[in-house]
Structure 1
Amino acid sequence: MTAIISNPLDFNVDDLYVDLCPTIGRRVFLKCEGFNFAGSIKLKAAAEMIAAKERSGDLSPGSTLIESSSGNMGVALSIAAASRGYRFVCVTDSRCNRAARRLMETLGTEVHVITEPDPEGGFLGARLAHVRRLVNSNAGYLWLNQYSNESNWMAHYRTTAPENAKAFPEIDILFVGAGTTGTLMGCAHYFRENLPAVKVVAVDTVGSVSFGRPAGRRLIPGLGTSVRPGILDPSIVDDIVYVSEPDTVRMCHQLSGRGFLFGGSTGTVVSGAATWLETNGIGDDVLSVAISPDFGGNYLETIYDDEWLARSFGSKLLPAELDPAR
């Protein structure tokens, strides 16, 4: 069927899943959320947050939006702002992929790059402090604040969660990555209210403070935080699994070895799902779904680059059968 659109927000593939059994040997279906003009799941939240501000009268033609982002949300908001006629200022940091920064700038976004982390709040804390300074000195700036904005998770309550329930009525477990926790909270609220038998498992990165663990070094943008998100309610999450960044990289290369080029957040989620299922002795009679936030095109100079991997994690990171230089 032919599709004709006049706005980039009008296109998103929401019903494509990858069977992960050939890759990880488990009955897990991966929901691909990168088939839209932003290339990630963040377009859903970006559109919802802007729409909510428009409904409340906080946004008008010529307004300037500002947000902190490690990459994907910045790109999504750049597209959404351009399509709606708003200026957008994105505050990111040095871990943001160069491709994402260039894309934002091409779309007209003013990008501020933070190069020094806050001693206590890390790069996210430093980004948020910079956002507050800009808002305080520019009366026309509107901060969406995805970390505390309920429209962030409401976007996934209305779309992502029911899409999974419709595609797999017999779903037992849902694995969701924890970044701003918008996707996680939207899905957890939905299944708690509508299908409480479904277990929602959060996948976080080692070094993230979201669920109370100590902060640590994190080089891959996307999942994990150095400041706990205001919208996070751990009480509605059934379990948490932590994934180290080396394991994220290994899973990304395992998937790319089968022709699936996914981003770091997706590698983390899939690795976490495989680990949790094995640790808990889950068999093939259980059906699991995992959410893939993005694809791997923006990670070619990091996760899929030999020199970056050696510099960041050492030369022995990948097993010989996964070594891209083999």
Structure 2
Amino acid sequence: MYPCLLAPLGAHSPLPAIARRPAQLVGNTPVLWIDAPFAPPGRGFHAKLEGANPGGIKDRPGLHMIKEARRRGDLAPEAPIIESSSGTLGLGLALAGLTYGHPVTVVTDPGMEPSVVRLLTALGAHVEQVTSPHPDGGWQQARRDRVAELASGVPWTYCPDQYHNPDNVAAYRPLAAELLAQLGHIDVLVASVGTGGHSAGVTAGLRESLPGLKLIGVDSIGSTIFGQPAGSRLMRGLGSSIHPSNVDYAAFAEVHWVAPAEAVWACRQLARRHYASGGWSVGAVALVAGWVARTYPAGTRIAAIFPDGPHRYLETVYNDDWCREHQLLDQQQPQEPDEIAEPDECVVTGWTRCSQVRDPLGRDVIKAGVR
């Protein structure tokens, strides 16, 4: 009655190779088809589940930046690594420190979830929190200033500077190769934007084979990356209060800003319907990718990058009391984004789309998105 139970051991599909080091667990992440409730029957998008890496998507640049720094001689054997992080890159650097034999200090702020602080400490990293934001650059600039202060007092310290390090971008070329192998043709890529690393690196890699690929960026309200004024940001992992030079503005066809309540709704729908979810970036990306799946022509192949999994967000995104405290539950969710013609036309407070993308510091030219 159950013939599979009688099959000899080893008769089924081969198992993955045994990893000899934890760094070998990074990459080759799965892709999952996502449809309802984000898209009607027959439509949907392919989600690249980077939360299947040991620490999330930033395991890739954590390892790559340190490997390249060692190769160039910028990082001496056993020298300390100090970097600013809201969480995920800290996990990647902890893995890199273990892999290559370097002590790691992660400078963060009070917004880092206590579970992540404990996990980083368990992984051997030292965690230091700044106590007040910078008056102009917010928590990110305060963290960066503290990194510089700590580094100045410790000889041979290496600071990866994920916001401006081209190795951060280059680290994502293997992810592009994985997507090509898994999906073949891709018409639209939907990616969150924080440091700008994975949106730039994956897009550059894909466009070598798919020059017509369309990139849609997903940002947080209150983020300055695409020309909005800096504001208070509840969401972590996407958005920025500074202007990272790794952001490839010319690569984007359009940008969407998403609010916390919208991301929470999407995260919880993913968990309930697909058993695959994550944090703020995942929810925001799913919201936008679902809109693309609903509104673009049938047959459009959409890939969306989910940077992490849900575990570090159990006391925020998935905590009813916390969400009610921040008025993130029981809100009517929009089916379509608001539209603005220019990225600085007004201060956006909810899901909003703009098809004009430009570098707010004037380092790039205006690029109009074309549907």
Query: Normalising by structure 1, what TM-score?
Result: 0.92
Deviations 1:49-82 (A, max 9, x none): 0110111012232210011000000011112102
The match for 2:316 is: 302
More off after superposition, 11-20 vs 264-273: 11-20
Residues 1:30 and 2:47 aligned together = yes
Amino acid at match of 1:234: Y
Alignment of 1:233-252 (within 5 A): 233-252=248-267
Structure 2 residue aligned with 1:51: 67
CA contact (8 A) 1:70 1:222 kept: yes
- Structure index of larger Rg: 2
Structure 1 residue matching 2:37: 3-state secondary structure: helix
Q: What is the CA distance between 1:114 and its match in structure 2?
A: 1.9
Give structure 1 stretches of 5+ with no counterpart: 320-326
1:150 to 148, 158, 166: 166
Which stretch has the larger CA shift, 53-62 or 287-296? 53-62
Task: Report how far residue 27 of structure 1 moved.
Answer: 2.2
Retained in 2: the 8 A contact 1:95–1:220? no
Distance 2:16 2:265 in 1: 39
Is 1:211 aligned to 2:210, yes or no? no
Higher helix share: 1
Deviation per residue, 1:224-250 (Å, 9 max, x gap): 111011211201222211111111111
In 1, Cα distance between the equivalents of 2:175 and 2:94?
A: 21
- CA shift, 1:260, in A, is 2.5
Q: Distance in 2 between matches of 1:48 and 1:301?
A: 31
2:362 aligned partner: none
The alpha carbon displacement at 1:289 in A equals 0.6
State the 1:98 CA deviation.
Answer: 1.3
User: Could you say which residue in structure 2 is the equivalent of 1:3?
Assistant: 17
The 4+ residue runs of structure 1 with deviation greater than 4 A are: none
67-76 or 209-218, which deviates more: 209-218
Q: Aligned in 2, Cα 1:65/1:15: closer, same or farther, shift over 3 Å? A: closer
Which of 1, 7, 17 aligns to 2:31? It is 17
Q: Using a 3 Å threshold, how does the CA distance of structure 1 residues 166 and 315 change in structure 2: closer, same or farther?
A: closer
Q: Could you tell me which residue of structure 2 aligns to residue 323 of structure 1?
A: none
240, 250, 269: which one pairs with 1:254?
269
Work out whether 1:115 is the aligned partner of 2:131. yes
* Mapped pair 1:289 → 2:308: no
Q: Which runs of 5+ in 2 are unaligned?
A: 1-14, 334-371
Cα pair distance change 1:314/1:14, threshold 3 Å: closer
Q: Distance in 2 between matches of 1:169 and 1:316?
A: 39
User: Amino acid of the residue matched to residue 296 of structure 1?
Assistant: P
| Equivalent in the alignment of 1:199 | 214
User: Does the Cα contact within 8 Å between 2:277 and 2:283 map onto a contact in 1?
Assistant: no
Kindly provide the amino acid, as one letter, of the partner of residue 193 in structure 2: A
Show the 5 A alignment for 1:226-237: 226-237=241-252
Report the alpha carbon displacement of residue 13 of structure 1 after superposing the two structures with TM: 4.8
Please give the secondary structure, in 2, of the residue aligned with 1:204.
strand
Letter in 1 for 2:218: V
Q: TM-score, normalised by structure 2?
A: 0.81
Q: Partner of 1:94: helix, strand, or coil?
A: coil
Equivalents in 1 of 2:234, 2:16: separation in Å? Answer: 41
Deviation of residue 276 (structure 1)?
4.5
Matches within 5 A, 1:125-144: 125-144=141-160
Deviation for aligned residue 1:2: 5.0
Partner deviation per Cα, 1:120-164 (whole Å, 9 max, x = no partner)? 11111111111111122222311010111111010112x111221
Residues 1:177 and 2:186 are matched in the alignment: no
Give the letter for the 2:238 counterpart.
L
Q: Cα gap change, 1:260/1:15 in structure 2, threshold over 3 Å: closer, same or farther?
A: closer
How many aligned residue pairs are there?
Answer: 315
| 2:205 corresponds to | 190
Identity among equivalent pairs (%): 32
SS of structure 1 residue aligned to 2:51: coil
